Amino acid sequence: MSDPAMGKFFALQAVRLSGAVMLLLGLMIGTGRAPSFLAGLPLEAGYALAAVGMVEFFFVPRLLARKWKTPDRQ
5-24 pLDDT, tens digit per residue, is: 899 999 999 999 999 999 99
Q: What is the pLDDT of residue 66?
A: 92
At residue 1, the pLDDT reads 54
- Indicate the length of the chain as a whole number: 74
Q: What mean pLDDT is predicted for residues 36-58? A: 94
The listed range with the strongest mean pLDDT (18-27, 32-41, 61-70) is 18-27
Please compute the mean of the pLDDT values over residues 47-74 and round it to a whole number.
91
So where are the chain's domains? 12-66
